[in-house]
Amino acid sequence: MASFVPTSADTLEDQRLYTSARLTEVACLDCLARVGVKKNSDHHTSIQWSREAREACPELSRRDGRGRDHHQGCPRLSASIESAVREGKVDIGAEDGY
């Protein structure tokens, strides 16, 4: 259950900008799971997983699902994102603070 549900238009727009603005779809080169990716810098990568992507990823499906393992990513997806960055498919750099 959400502890805060935004209602004002400005807050909803801030939420959209923070969670989904500038996301580029990247497919894992191994399992083909598709995620949204944003890189604000060389060292910062945001990944938005959909339910379908989590279910398609063998690395994530092997985990028991208990606890918060959001810092433990899939190494094959990370390599796919790095490849997309090298190919110029994912831009690096925040825009308007996002």
Number of residues written out for the chain: 98
In a domain, residue 28? The reply is yes
In a domain, residue 50? The reply is yes
Total count of domains within the chain: 1
Please tell me the pTM assigned to this model: 0.75
Q: Which domain holds residue 29?
A: 23-86
HSE-CB of 28 using CA atoms within 13 angstroms: 23
In a domain, residue 40? The reply is yes
Q: What is the pLDDT of residues 17-74, one digit of tens each?
A: 777 778 999 999 999 999 999 998 899 898 998 889 989 999 887 776 655 555 578 8
Task: Please give the average per-residue pLDDT across 2-31, as a whole number.
Answer: 81
In a domain, residue 94? The reply is no
In a domain, residue 38? The reply is yes
In a domain, residue 91? The reply is no
- Give the CA radius of gyration of the chain: 15
Q: What is the pLDDT confidence band of residue 5, given thresholds at 50, 70 and 90? A: confident
